[in-house]
Structure 1
Amino acid sequence: MVVTMLMSGTFLPPAMDLFGLHLLPEQVLFGLTSVFRLTAIIPLIGVFEHRAAPMMLIISHLNDFAKVKVVQYSRWMFK
């Protein structure tokens, strides 16, 4: 995917019309690479890591950390 974007200056696809829209070569290349990225992510959806923490636990820890930092900063700022 990265290689296709780096070589995009050399291998620009031609402009095309899609559903009545005229797409420039850069737009066609962006659309193609987005499809390639999506197809690379789809197989990874089914991967389960045994030692991974649940996402909600991670978000709650980050939220608690941010709250503590904001309170500490406000106490320091408004002494």
Structure 2
Amino acid sequence: MLGLLVNNREVEEIQYLLKREMDEILFDLKDTRIDHIVKRAMEERYTILFALFRRVATHKECMQYILPTKKQKQKKES
């Protein structure tokens, strides 16, 4: 286990970077031209980024970035 000591400004910067990267992945996941294998890799990366984001963000902010499950996606499409 590693520890990291950051100040509030650095936490805000980390949050900004993670949000920006997660937003890009969410946008790309909606693109039908991207292959399924690539999307799976993107989802794995998103999971890692979200785990980092949970450590520095509030519960309310985290709720906005929860990746929809396949069951939720199917309900929206129906």
- The TM-score, its normalising length taken from structure 1, stands at 0.33
Q: Which structure shows the bigger proportion of residues in strand conformation?
A: 1
Q: Which structure shows the bigger proportion of residues in helix conformation?
A: 2
Larger Rg: 1
Question: RCO (CA 8 Å, sep 6+): is it higher in 1 or 2?
Answer: 2
